[in-house]
Amino acid sequence: MITSVRNETEPVVERARIYSRLEHNISRSQISDNALKVLNRLQKEGFDAYLVGGCVRDLLLGREPNDFDIATNADPEQVKKVFRNCRLIGRRFRLAHVHFGREVIEVATFRGAGEAKNDKQVLNNEGRLLRDNVYGTIEEDVWRRDFTVNALYYNIKDFSVVDYADGMADLKNGTLRLIGDPETRFREDPVRMLRAVRFAVKLGFKLHPDCEKSMHNAAELLSSIPAARLYDEVLKLFLSGYALQSFEMLRHYGLFQVLFPATESSLAVEESGFPRLLLIKALENSDSRIAEGKTVTAYFLFAAFLWEPVQICAKDKMAHGIAEFVAYQDAANEVIARQIKSTSLPRHITMAMREVWSLQPKFNVRYGTRPSRLIAHPRFRAGYDFLLLRSETGGADPELAQWWAKYQEASAAEQRKMTQPPRKAQNNKSGRKKAYRKKVSDDATGTD
């Protein structure tokens, strides 16, 4: 098949390379049944239907896809007519979601190149795409995608893989290459820089030198992206099992400071590497938990990211005469208020972060009934894990963490013993004194 598409900023597609079923390893048995249903149904209705994006890339690499995305020449309204269980979503891109219980198959109509002045495709002054609802052909759709390895299409008609952008070659040699001119593509959508980091880390790919060069210059553009979208991207970056590498790479390209400005500045004032260590340890723990199939929570990582900024802010307040408890509360409020200008944070997340932070001083009290009340706190586990993190990185006494480890394992009787106040010894002493006095007085009355 020979195709030719031309747009001023886009390279010319000379031809698509078609890999027949015999030339690639994607088998239908690896594709979700629901995705197959949608593909087959669209085809039956006379539309073209392809799997596209991360699922094709991952299947070719022998990895399990996160989700199955479909591209078609049917427009969203037509898709909606074919599936009863379908909802249309999105403003920036209009998409069809076909629901099968908990699984959602996303169906996108091929995007067209369009004209920037067209009211369906809107660029802002910086060249960022604000809306992009021009429909087109598969040949045009290719150029709306970000990386060549994300622009491979699996055709349900003949089970072939269609490659317009040399994605297969890049996939084989592990290169992440932007389609078109990197600077323009990052300008259109600066989130592509975060995606570059995410895919490079997750797939173990290297960035193409052109892509890398543009990224160094374009990092600041990220600050124009709505905080809610950045929050979604941050979750993908840090909760997918490659948090530490993502952190290092984001810092390398100056992207981290846009996402977490207060954290970045706190890293600059580190003393003996402690703040950085806590953060790194938190990221490492999160990655190894995911590797072990355990769950990780966003609030715990955010609490670790912002712990040092809160410390710095609270200490500053205390130096101005504000009492410790109030200083920490105010610092938490301020740091969170500043952070949500960069990445939004849902309320349940900020509430949980505050709880984790405010539990920390409570771990210092080991006597009386407070420990048993603390252990019953719904956020105890996270608070304790945070204490461990601090104790492993020089921010809390390791002996304190050991005490709490022992306390949790102890029987009720042992727990009571562990929390007996040292006052007890004094009581004994005064008790003895009383007894002595009593004895003296008894003696004095001569009742013996």
Active site residues: 67, 69, 146
Distances (CA, A) of 376 to 128, 179, 422: 50, 54, 23
Helices (H), 61-177: 76-82, 138-141, 167-173
User: Please, which residue, 177 or 195, has the CB nearer to Mg ion?
Assistant: 195
- Exactly one of 20, 66, 372, 427 binds ligand ATP (CB under 6 A); that residue is 66
Decide which of Mg ion, ligand ATP, none touches 70; Cβ closer than 5 to 8 Å per partner kind. Answer: none
Q: Which is nearer to ligand ATP, 51 or 279 (CB)?
A: 51
Region from 66-74, 119-127, 283-291, 438-446 binding ligand ATP, contact rule CB under 6 A: 66-74
User: Residue with the closest Cβ to Mg ion?
Assistant: 54
φ/ψ (deg, to 5) at 239: -115, 20
The verdict on 342 binding ligand ATP (CB under 6 A) reads: no
- For residue 156, give the nearest of 65, 17, 56 by alpha carbon: 56
In the complex, minimum distance from the CB of residue 313 to ligand ATP, in angstroms, rounded to a whole number: 34
Indicate which of ligand ATP, Mg ion, none lies near residue 146 (CB less than 5 to 8 Å, by partner kind). Answer: ligand ATP
- Taking CB under 6 A as the criterion, the residue among 59, 105, 162, 191 binding ligand ATP is 191
Contact pick of 148, 150, 155, 246 for ligand ATP (by CB under 6 A): 150
* Residue 145 interacts with which of ligand ATP, Mg ion, none, CB < 5 to 8 Å by class: ligand ATP
Q: Which of 10, 140, 146, 308 binds ligand ATP (CB under 6 A)?
A: 146
Tell me whether strands 86-89 and 121-123 are parallel, antiparallel or unpaired. unpaired
Dist. CA 142–CA 113, nearest whole Å? 10
Of residues 218 and 327, the one with the C-beta less far from ligand ATP:
218
Q: How far is the CB of 69 from ligand ATP (least distance, A)?
A: 5
Nearer to Mg ion, 165 or 401 (CB): 165
CA distance linking residue 44 with residue 229, whole number of Å:
36
Candidates 35, 51, 69, 72; binder of ligand ATP (CB under 6 A) is 69
Helix (H) and strand (E) counts for the chain? Answer: 21, 12
- Binding partner at 287 among Mg ion, ligand ATP, none, C-beta below 5 to 8 Å by kind: none
Distance CA 305, CA 128 (A): 29
Cα–Cα dist 230/223, whole Å: 9
**Which 381-400 residues touch ligand ATP, going by CB under 6 A?**
none
| CA distance linking residue 420 with residue 418, whole number of Å | 6
Which residues is 316 bridged to in the sheet?
A: none
Going by C-alpha positions, the residue among 249, 273, 269 that lies closest to residue 259 is 249
What CA–CA distance (Å, rounded) separates 207 from 199? 9
Confirm if 345 and 351 have CB atoms less than 8 A apart: no
Residue spans of beta strands (DSSP E) within 321-360? none
Candidates 41-49, 186-194, 299-307, 397-405 — which segment interacts with ligand ATP by CB under 6 A?
Answer: 186-194
User: Are 408 and 375 contacting, i.e. CB atoms less than 8 angstroms apart?
Assistant: yes
Among 94, 111, 145, 354, interactor with ligand ATP by CB under 6 A: 145
Q: Among Mg ion, ligand ATP, none, what does residue 167 contact (CB within 5–8 Å per kind)? A: none
Closest approach of ligand ATP to the CB of residue 126, in Å = 15
Distance CA 187, CA 57 (A): 25
Q: Which partner in Mg ion, ligand ATP, none is near 191 (CB below 5 to 8 A by kind)?
A: ligand ATP
What H or E segment, with its residue span, contains residue 328? helix 324-339
Among 35, 54, 263, 384, binds ligand ATP (CB under 6 A): 54
Please, which residues bridge with residue 15 across strands?
Answer: 2
Task: Compute the Cα dihedral for 230, 235, 240, 243 and give only its sign.
Answer: positive
Could you give the count of Cα atoms lying within 13 Å of 122 in the half-sphere of its Cβ?
8
Interface with ligand ATP, residue 189, by CB under 6 A: yes
Which tokens go with 78?
Answer: 């037509």
Helix (H, G, I), strand (E, B) or coil at 176: strand
What is the DSSP code (8-state) at residue 442?
H
Binding residues (CB under 5 A) for Mg ion: these are: 54, 67
Min separation Cβ 146 and ligand ATP, Å: 4
Q: Which is nearer to ligand ATP, 10 or 308 (CB)?
A: 10
Residue number with the smallest Cβ distance to ligand ATP: 54
The interface region with ligand ATP, picked from 145-153, 206-214, 329-337, 399-407 by CB under 6 A, is: 145-153
User: Binding string, 103-132, against ligand ATP, x = CB under 6 A?
Assistant: ------------------------------
> Which residues of the chain form contacts with ligand ATP (CB under 6 A)?
53-54, 66-67, 69, 145-146, 150-151, 189, 191-192
